[in-house]
Structure 1
């Protein structure tokens, strides 16, 4: 796949203001995306439309103006802040005599530049190919079949050949990723057996997730003031005061209109977020768009079935707006939000305190009736020091009164594939 930084370093940006969209916010984000791709912006062209033009997206008059601007500035790429159809892309490239990219292609290219691990590179290539599959269009050269001695007769066109090769490559990538997903699942089960809670860091891109991760773990994960500075998931063990060890997972940042191909390709990576005990939702408190960013992150979490995980809001970068670190509590007395600065370290102790409260505050008391075949779960409960009373019945079953944290009980249920639910006689939460 192509890399934008190699193809062009100077671009003309195009943004269309539709009545239902916010111009300033989206345009500012486009500029940040272009800068993250290592491309300089020569000029920004904006226009207003009620609906996209079928041929050029921006209308024939504005398209002619765009072509003139590209020629005058010798720009080698045009980047749209919207999704273009294959036909619109082809028409604009013919008119402007320059490469035309839409927002999705730009994000895919940034991911391609930033992926470092083998799995990350496979995921990005799969997303790029799936995006390209819908954009293979028939051109002049695609129509012709080769002729000559020994070559006449039925055969496939170049377009058909490209599509077949693309399908085969996608199939091979999916097989490799499925294998790596199984390996990742084995690691996840091992962490569950260790009974250590998993804390996943999520948030809008450039909110300071990796900086917070480094602050909590003393790791050296790459962090920079740019969109998608890191892609590959990283897991580290942390020790929480007066609680013990936990696993902290740093994940890829989210963004508005995150391409569905990327979400699908990174689904195994984002599984860490779905299976976590707590999500740290990191928010840039100094960003005027923070409320909309929160909605965008929650939307992606809903898409990957991770919206039901206990969430702690972390309002980062308080040093930029001169706020003091603090904890906000909900109506039940549990921490709801923490205000801190990952860069300076202010409020980190408060975050650790809030995590300990969430992980150990709520407990569950249960009575289980275990058959002889479930003796392994009896042993596990004794390892957790959760058994308060035990009684063997005449039929060989074992009645256990246990008490443990809700997080520990949730992990046990995941490990048993909800089998333990069948043994519950009574249950209460306190």
Structure 2
């Protein structure tokens, strides 16, 4: 993000504003392909930047140099004013052979305040991304559906509006054009346009949310049950979704390759639906996360939620990611405190959350790492975890069985008897109805024509079958 220079600074005619908004403002953030760009990374203190750099690499951006400054972050400009000016001078004086000659982007490893963003941008004079704007640019690159683009645009405008307000504050403090009268500054016009665009996008999002809610309501009325997949970004949600459903979805070893919800049926089970959705990441601001609340609702309001985590992560990294997932789901989105008494699987609690933790990528972890991963899950108060590998298939059958037990309890044995006088419905019709209502795992026919089926199905579906075929079926 580049911002408008203060009035005292001349602005070349070919150097437009680059702040989000409409009304004639050039949108630097509208660029979706950042492959091949070169950036400087500013880091304050001794912070681990590996995840941040992984996000940058996902977008094809090269970090030319990481510049560090010890001490606490400056509330006005992140780096100290003198050090920041040194960076600006070296960048401006870089000759063609200098490593910084191709740098067209500055990254700062923090969720910056509007004041910091404005001051850094005005000093260095290059496009500037903090952690939030890096995520938003990544989201913009990966947003493929109307729903995802709407959510990303809302989050982007909410973030950029704070910068516009800071710019307006700096440029209109004290005596100014229009002060005390009816004058309106250019920034006020831009801010008004941003507000109008946000209002239109939120109305569109409400329509999309209502449509999603109606689709969920219709699925519930039809007797379908839903399994939601949540977890830290790149935990393997899309890979597991593809394995369980057989449905093709984007599966990449990239952060945030999924931004919208994908719903598909679990294989061999017409009544079990799977919902794959966006991953979490640490320290996402509330306003940004809230824009995706409608997308997350598909997985969070499911009958069973699978919490995925990478078993190959070191214990401290696994703990951080699980804590992030727990915090984002329950403490921020639901507003519920989480402690040892949290009703993870208490079916007697009307607000219970039926949940199963799944440790993915177990083929990349040895026995000691798996033991540590299970201990970490237990230490955070989650239910006992199941381990799976979407690559080798290890643990998938056990996970499928656990899903069915969570949703249906125990399977039912249903015997379908032939009609006594030969005038009733054919056995095949009744068997077809049972296949439509549940997941059949065995099917046998005896010499008398009776068909015996082992079926996983909900209590409501079983009662419907009994009412429809009361004298033709026997349930054990």
TM bracket, shorter-chain basis: 0.7 to 0.9
* SS of residue in 2 equivalent to 1:135: helix
Superposed, which structure 2 residues align to 1:3-42 within 5 Å?
A: 3=30, 9-17=37-45, 23-24=47-48, 27-42=49-64
Equivalent residues in 2 for 1:32-71, closer than 5 Å: 32-49=54-71, 51-68=72-89, 70-71=91-92
Give yes or no for the alignment of 1:245 onto 2:266.
Answer: no
Secondary structure in structure 1 of the residue aligned to 2:259:
coil
The alpha-carbon deviation at position 262 of structure 1 amounts to 2.5
Please state how far the C-alpha of 1:266 moved relative to its aligned partner: 1.2
Q: 8 Å contact 2:118–2:163 — kept in the other structure? A: no
Q: Which residue of 2 aligns with 1:218?
A: 246
Match of 1:270 among 280, 283, 296: 296
2:353 to 309, 312, 321: 309
Verify: 1:340 aligned to 2:384, yes or no.
no
* Contact 1:277 1:407 (8 Å CA) reproduced: no
Question: Which structure's residues are more often strand, by fraction?
Answer: 1
How many Å separate the matches in 2 of 1:284 and 1:56? Answer: 36
The residue number in structure 2 matching 1:106 is 134
User: Using the alignment, how far apart are the partners of 1:179 and 1:251 within structure 2?
Assistant: 19
User: Which of the numbers 64, 86, 90 marks the counterpart of 2:118?
Assistant: 90
Assess, with a 3 A threshold, how the Cα gap between structure 1 residues 145 and 68 changes in structure 2: closer, same or farther.
closer
**For residues 126-137 of structure 1, what are the structure 2 equivalents within 5 Å?**
126-136=154-164, 137=167
Asked if residue 350 in structure 1 is aligned to residue 398 in structure 2, the reply is: yes
Task: Name the structure 2 match of 1:318.
Answer: 362
Question: Aligned partners of 1:306, 1:408: CA distance in 2, in Å?
Answer: 31
| TM-aligned CA deviation for residue 244 of structure 1 | 6.6
CA contact (8 A) 2:276 2:299 kept: no
Alignment of 1:264-413 (within 5 A): 264-288=290-314, 289-302=317-330, 303-305=332-334, 308-323=352-367, 336-361=384-409
Q: Which has the larger displacement, 354-363 or 103-112?
A: 354-363
Which of residues 180, 185, 198 is equivalent to 2:226?
A: 198
Q: Per the alignment, in what secondary structure is the counterpart of residue 56 of structure 1?
A: coil
CA distance in 1, matches of 2:459, 2:199: 39
In the TM superposition, what is the alpha-carbon distance from 1:40 to its structure 2 partner? 1.1
Per-residue Cα deviation, 1:78-137 (whole angstroms, up to 9, x for no partner): 111102222222221222221221110110111111111111111111111111111101
- Kept in 2, the 8 Å contact 1:315–1:340? The answer is yes
Bigger shift: 76-85 or 93-102?
93-102
Shift of 1:47: 2.6
What residue is the counterpart of 1:417 in the other structure?
none
Alpha-carbon contact 1:78-1:99 (below 8 Å) kept: yes
Q: Which SS does the other structure have where 1:279 is aligned?
A: strand
Kindly indicate whether the alpha-carbon contact (under 8 Å) linking 1:114 and 1:230 is maintained by their aligned counterparts in 2: yes
For 2:299 and 2:335, the matched residues in 1 are separated by: 7
In structure 2, C-alpha distance between the alignment counterparts of 1:69 and 1:202, rounded to whole Å: 45
Structure possessing the higher radius of gyration over alpha carbons: 2
1:181 partnered with 2:209: yes
> What secondary structure is seen at the aligned counterpart in 2 of 1:336?
coil
Does the 8 Å contact 1:14/1:44 carry over to 2? yes
Deviation of 1:225 after TM superposition, in Å, equals 0.9
- Tell me, yes or no, if the aligned pair for 1:199 and 1:247 is still in contact at 8 Å: yes
Shift of 1:53: 1.0
> 8 Å contact 1:274–1:304 — kept in the other structure?
no
Q: How far apart in 1 are the matches of 2:241 and 2:367?
A: 21
CA separation in 2, counterparts of 1:208 and 1:68? Answer: 44
TM-score normalised according to structure 1 size = 0.74
Report the Cα offset of residue 322 of structure 1.
Answer: 3.9
Supply the distance in 2 between the matched residues of 1:234 and 1:244 (Cα, whole angstroms): 16
Matched residues in 2 for 1:256 and 1:291: separation? 12
CA contact (8 A) 1:279 1:310 kept: yes
Change (3 A) 1:192 1:306: farther
Q: Aligned partners of 2:31, 2:44: CA distance in 1, in Å?
A: 22
The 3 A distance-change label for structure 1 pair 200 and 234 is same
Task: Give distance in 2, aligned partners of 1:407 and 1:13.
Answer: 54
Residue 238 of structure 1 deviates from its aligned partner by 0.9
Q: In structure 1, list runs of 5 or more residues that go unmatched.
A: 147-152, 364-383, 386-404, 410-430
Q: After TM superposition, give the deviation of residue 341 of structure 1 in Å.
A: 0.7
